[in-house]
Amino acid sequence: MTGMVQSNRSFGRGWRSGAAFKAALFAGVAMASVAAHSSVAAAQDKTTIEFAASVLADPSRGPIYQKWIDGFNEAHDDIEVKAVGIPFSSFANTVLTQLGGGQGPDVMRLDLDVFMPAASAGLLMDLDDTIADGEYDFIGPDQYMKLDGTRYGVVFSMTPYVLLYNADLAKGVPETFEELIEDAKAARTDSVYGYAFRTTMNQAAGFWQDLCNFVYGFGGEWADAEGNLTINSPEVVAGVAAYKEMYDAGVIPVGATSSEYRQMFWEGKVAYMIDNGGVAGLLANKAPDLPLEAVPSPFPHPEQGMVLAALAVNANSKNKDAATEFVKWVLSPEAQQALLTIPGEVYAGTKVARPEGDTETAKTFEKVMEVYTSQADYGTPQLVPGYADETPQMQQIILEEVVRVLKSGDDPQEAMDRAQSQIERRVLRR
Interval 60-87: pLDDT, tens: 889 999 999 999 999 999 999 999 999 9
Q: Are the beta carbons of 161 and 275 closer than 8 angstroms?
A: yes
Range ranked top by mean pLDDT from 39-48, 138-147, 186-195: 186-195
As a whole number, mean pLDDT of residues 176-204 equals 97
Q: Is residue 345 part of a domain?
A: yes
Number of domains in the chain: 2
Q: Are the beta carbons of 312 and 118 closer than 8 angstroms?
A: yes
Interval 121-131: pLDDT, tens: 999 999 999 99
Q: Are residues 152 and 168 in the same domain?
A: no
Name the average pLDDT for the chain. Answer: 89
Q: Is residue 5 part of a domain?
A: no
As a whole number, mean pLDDT of residues 16-27 equals 45
Q: Are residues 47 and 98 in the same domain?
A: yes
326 vs 13, residue with greater confidence: 326
Q: Is residue 34 part of a domain?
A: yes
Query: Would you say residue 7 has pLDDT above 90?
Result: no
Q: How far is CA 12 from CA 73, 123, 223, 288, in A?
A: 35, 16, 12, 40
Q: Is residue 289 part of a domain?
A: yes
Phi and psi based region of residue 409 (left: phi greater than 0; alpha: psi -120 to 50; beta: remaining): left
| Domain containing residue 263: CATH number | 3.40.190.10
Q: Are residues 215 and 244 in the same domain?
A: yes
Query: Would you say residue 15 has pLDDT above 50?
Result: no
Q: Are residues 59 and 137 in the same domain?
A: yes
Q: Residue 175's pLDDT is what?
A: 98
Interval 214-255: pLDDT, tens: 999 999 999 999 999 999 999 999 999 999 999 999 999 999
d(CA 208, CA 399): 7
Q: Residue 303's pLDDT is what?
A: 97
Q: Residue 164's pLDDT is what?
A: 98
d(CA 223, CA 386): 8
The pTM of the full predicted model, rounded to 2 decimals, is: 0.81
Phi and psi based region of residue 178 (left: phi greater than 0; alpha: psi -120 to 50; beta: remaining): alpha
CA 212 to chain CA centroid, Å, is 12
Secondary structure letter of residue 218 according to DSSP: T
Q: Residue 355's pLDDT is what?
A: 78
Q: Residue 61's pLDDT is what?
A: 84
Q: Residue 346's pLDDT is what?
A: 87
As a whole number, mean pLDDT of residues 47-54 equals 97
Q: Is residue 201 part of a domain?
A: yes
Q: Are residues 53 and 84 in the same domain?
A: yes
Q: Are residues 150 and 169 in the same domain?
A: no
Q: Is residue 12 part of a domain?
A: no
| Coil vs helix vs strand at 85 | strand
Q: Is residue 226 part of a domain?
A: yes
Q: Are residues 164 and 272 in the same domain?
A: yes
Q: Are residues 171 and 143 in the same domain?
A: no
Q: Are residues 359 and 411 in the same domain?
A: no
Interval 272-305: pLDDT, tens: 999 999 899 889 888 999 999 999 999 999 999 9
Q: Are residues 281 and 231 in the same domain?
A: yes
Q: Are the beta carbons of 412 and 240 closer than 8 angstroms?
A: yes
Interval 337-375: pLDDT, tens: 999 988 878 899 999 988 776 555 566 788 999 999 899
Q: Are residues 24 and 139 in the same domain?
A: yes
Q: Given pLDDT bands bounded at 50, 70 and 90, which one contains residue 31? A: very low
Q: Are the beta carbons of 86 and 93 closer than 8 angstroms?
A: no
Secondary structure letter of residue 356 according to DSSP: P
Q: Are residues 333 and 258 in the same domain?
A: no
As a whole number, mean pLDDT of residues 110-120 equals 92
d(CA 398, CA 45): 51
- What is the extent of the structural domain holding 93? 19-157+308-363
Residue among 99, 98, 87 nearest 56 (CA): 87
Q: Is residue 9 part of a domain?
A: no
Interval 163-177: pLDDT, tens: 999 999 999 999 999
